[in-house]
Amino acid sequence: MNHPTPPIAEQRPHSFERHGITVEDPWAWLRDAGYPEVTDPDVLAYLEAENAYFETVMAPHQPLTDRLFEEMRGRIKEDDATVPQKDGDWLYWSDFETGGEYRRWWRKPVSGGADELILDEPALAAGKEYFRLGALSISPDGRYLAYAIDDNGSERFEARVKDLTTGALLDDVIPGTLSELVWVADSSGFLYGLANDQWRTDNARLHRLGTPIDQDVELYHEADEGWRVSVGETQSRRFLVISAGDHVTSEVRLVPADDPLADPILVRARQPHVEYDVEEHDGTLFIHTNDTDPNFRLVTAPLERPSEWTERLPASGHFYMTGVTTFADFFVVEGREDGLDQVFLHRYEGGEGTAIAFPEASYVVGLGDNPEYAVDKLRLGYESMVTPGTVIEYDVATAEQRVLKVQAIPSGYDPSKYATERLKITARDGTQVPVSVVYPNGFPRDGTGKLYLYAYGAYGYAVPPGFSTSRMSFLDRGVAFAIAHIRGGDDLGQQWYLDGKLEKRTNTFNDFVDVARGLIDHGFTHEGGIAIAGGSAGGELMGAVVNSDPELWGAVVASVPFVDVLNTMLDETLPLTPGEWPEWGNPIEDQAAFELIRSYSPYDNVAPQAYPPIFISGGLNDPRVTYWEPAKWAAKLRFTKTDDNVLLLKTNMGAGHGGKSGRWESLKEAAEEMAFVLWQLGMEG
């Protein structure tokens, strides 16, 4: 292929020894010693050179990128608005102006009256390269709006308070927050958490309006550096919730919302590998926990004796209970039955729960925006791979479902043009791995087709088989789209997650490769006809499978990829590392963990072999996957690989983990990635 000469990152001798093993890392210098400030001129020069190379290589394909962007934009309702929802005396909603990048937030009195613009994101984002609204919370009396913003992608938010009666900002400004903002009952203040120097939220604090920040009261501090603290509230709003935990263990404290300085109520002291979360109804705690089974069960306890648990709903081998929400007259249990979303209503007096029925064989559904406690109708969100996002109102008394809104697609959408299937493909150890596939009618099943395969496979996150307007640009060009529900996610229950982490981590990579080969066997595609994509931990997956099975892939998109796993897990000063050891293992103390991580860490296993075309992206301000991980990986690939396939590294110099902000700017990045894939699959026309 005729490409301009790519930049080459020099090698500088660097090595370290651990567990008697010496590890060479000649690109370690790409980590700026002054991080999180990145000022090293050599580092910046390399990143800028890679960005310039990216622009040069992609320039001939700009017409395709532009077409894709216009297609994607044409499927989005520019002046879209959410369905207004009642919360107390007000109806709340948000919308976009035509052409707007960011939302505006509105309310009006339930009793009638004018619309009030309570937060104007476009005005807040004006002149900024990056903008993201984090927490947003209205005080119980409806007077104050607390919100938090990030204007550089570092995920260190600044909390502010607006008086909605006057429109004025209060002097209360709290920099460095990383949490929700949760009001106390009398609207005099709110709970929040600060990020410490290592970007870890190890505290819950109370701020009273009008008082200096240095007088804020720390209600809880977590001593374990691997744990994180979050704040929330029960659905009844009687209690503020302070939760602490890592990836495998949790501990919850309750604070009366009308007496936030009261001694917190510890529900149950932490027990290794036991997770739980808590709701409350009329003095009874409803506790969702995996204490006896990885599929979770529901127990109750009196508020006065919160650690005395009585089983209400047992764990099930087929139903994975993912959450419980208590309302005034009933409670809702959400979960997945054999991988398919389910919602059940239960009465407090007992009896069988009522399942809410849905028409399709495969779909995504869950509770939507339901801020109030005493309700007789529920908002649900529903979609599938062929059904656009739908807001449903469910009448609890009659079981009637009323559609309030269907995602509008201005350029038109005909679901009959597409078909979807849910397959089970046998992995090499005999495990049946679910796969969701959507494809255009007439798609060839003779192995000649092209396929885009996506997965994540970590942290117990299940990739839902939902709807995507951007995906239609693939489908309308004859490309099938598949989601591999591999181990490492909790698609089939928590055990599915446990079977893809720590010493079982390689199951995740093997599942993905085996799904790809299974889709070839099913006639969807052929070796080299598969484009694959994943981000963050899913980017680790991309790095692992291009090392192990490079011949399978026709194109690879690795977004903010977690590929320098060994070095990151050995560096306890990095923001996430101690909290990640339960997920990946602790290679500092555990030689077996060191050797296992070293055996699959994508950066450490780059080999002198042919690699498929790869598009790598990173964010200079990313606190989750630091910018040098994708940079080092790209540098080592360039030096080591034996092919002349294109390799691109694009670093967002003013953004973080999520890429550019704003709905159109982020859409442009999606169009770039899709253009790269179509180019490499030979489908650029």
Region 397-412 average pLDDT: 96
Mean per-residue pLDDT of the chain: 95
Question: How many other C-beta atoms can be found within 10 angstroms of the C-beta atom of residue 19?
Answer: 14
User: What local confidence, expressed as pLDDT, does residue 414 receive?
Assistant: 95
Residue 657 has pLDDT above 60, yes or no: no
User: What local confidence, expressed as pLDDT, does residue 16 receive?
Assistant: 95
User: What local confidence, expressed as pLDDT, does residue 658 receive?
Assistant: 58
| Residue of 89, 135, 98 whose CA lies nearest to 116 | 89
DSSP letter string over 484-515? E--BTB-TT-HHHHHTTSGGGTHHHHHHHHHH
C-alpha 560/C-alpha 542 separation (Å) is 11
| Residue of 498, 500, 522 whose CA lies nearest to 509 | 500
Q: Which single residue is written with the structure tokens 């808590």?
A: 278
User: What local confidence, expressed as pLDDT, does residue 423 receive?
Assistant: 95
User: What local confidence, expressed as pLDDT, does residue 661 receive?
Assistant: 60
Q: Are 324 and 312 in contact (CB under 8 A)?
A: no
Q: Which amino acid is at 111?
A: S
pLDDT band, very low/low/confident/very high, at 192 (cuts 50, 70, 90): very high
Kindly name the residue from 154, 468, 473, 536 that is annotated as catalytic.
Answer: 536
In tens, the pLDDT along 504-547 reads 999 999 999 999 999 999 999 999 999 999 999 999 999 999 99
The DSSP 8-state label assigned to residue 430 in this structure reads: S
Q: Are 336 and 355 in contact (CB under 8 A)?
A: no
* DSSP run (H or E) holding 443: none
Structural domains of the chain, ranges and CATH numbers in brackets = 15-73+412-680 (3.40.50.1820)
User: What local confidence, expressed as pLDDT, does residue 684 receive?
Assistant: 82
Beta pairing, strands 390-395 & 401-406: antiparallel
Residue 68 has pLDDT above 70, yes or no: yes
Q: Which long-range contacts (CB under 8 A, 24 or more apart) does 252-260 make?
A: 252/276, 252/277, 252/278, 253/220, 254/278, 254/280, 254/306, 255/191, 255/219, 256/185, 257/184, 257/185, 257/233, 258/184, 258/185, 258/186, 260/184, 260/189, 260/191, 260/206, 260/219
Collapsing DSSP to helix, strand or coil, 596 comes out as helix
| Residue of 320, 459, 442, 343 whose CA lies nearest to 392 | 343
C-alpha 333/C-alpha 378 separation (Å) is 13
DSSP letter string over 565-592? HHHHHT-TTSSSHHHHHHHH--TTT-HH
Residue 654 has pLDDT above 80, yes or no: no
For the chain, what is the largest distance between any 2 Cα atoms, rounded to a whole number of angstroms? 73
Q: For the chain, percent helix, then strand, then coil, each to nearest 5?
A: 20, 35, 45
Contact residues for 66 (Cβ-Cβ < 8 A; gap 6+):
671
Residue 139 has pLDDT above 90, yes or no: yes
Kindly name the residue from 490, 499, 604, 622 that is annotated as catalytic.
Answer: 622
Q: What angle do CA 197, 200, 201 make, to 5 degrees?
A: 115
The beta strand positions in 110-188, using DSSP E, are: 116-120, 132-138, 144-150, 157-163, 169-177, 182-183
C-alpha 560/C-alpha 571 separation (Å) is 19
Weakest-pLDDT range from 96-100, 173-177, 501-505, 529-533: 96-100
Beta pairing, strands 169-177 & 553-559: unpaired
- The separation between CA 250 and the C-alpha centre of its own chain, rounded to angstroms, equals 20
Which tokens is 406 given?
């269907």
User: What local confidence, expressed as pLDDT, does residue 529 receive?
Assistant: 98
Residue 659 has pLDDT above 70, yes or no: no
User: What residues form DSSP beta bridges with 337?
Assistant: 319, 340
pLDDT band, very low/low/confident/very high, at 74 (cuts 50, 70, 90): very high
Residues 604, 609, 612, 614, CA torsion sign = positive
188 catalytically annotated: no
| Residue of 634, 607, 615 whose CA lies nearest to 558 | 615
The radius of gyration of the chain's CA atoms, rounded to the nearest angstrom, is 25
Q: Are 574 and 196 in contact (CB under 8 A)?
A: no
Region 75-82 average pLDDT: 94
C-alpha 146/C-alpha 155 separation (Å) is 17
Beta pairing, strands 85-87 & 310-313: unpaired
pLDDT band, very low/low/confident/very high, at 685 (cuts 50, 70, 90): low
The DSSP 8-state label assigned to residue 112 in this structure reads: -
DSSP letter string over 28-79? GGGS-TTTTS---HHHHHHHHHHHHHHHHHHGGGHHHHHHHHHHHHHTS-TT
Residue 676 has pLDDT above 60, yes or no: yes
Kindly name the residue from 281, 288, 485, 657 that is annotated as catalytic.
Answer: 657
In tens, the pLDDT along 487-510 reads 999 999 999 999 999 999 999 999
| Residue of 648, 672, 542, 485 whose CA lies nearest to 1 | 648
Region 236-244 average pLDDT: 98
Collapsing DSSP to helix, strand or coil, 634 comes out as helix
Angle between helices 663-680 and 62-74 (to 10 degrees): 130
In tens, the pLDDT along 455-465 reads 999 999 999 99
Q: Are 281 and 289 in contact (CB under 8 A)?
A: no
Q: Which single residue is written with the structure tokens 């000063």?
A: 573
C-alpha 482/C-alpha 486 separation (Å) is 12
Region 265-281 average pLDDT: 97
In tens, the pLDDT along 287-314 reads 999 999 999 999 999 999 999 999 999 9
DSSP letter string over 518-544? HHHHTTS--TT-EEEEEETHHHHHHHH
C-alpha 17/C-alpha 554 separation (Å) is 37
Weakest-pLDDT range from 38-42, 442-446, 575-579: 575-579
Which tokens is 133 given?
């609204």
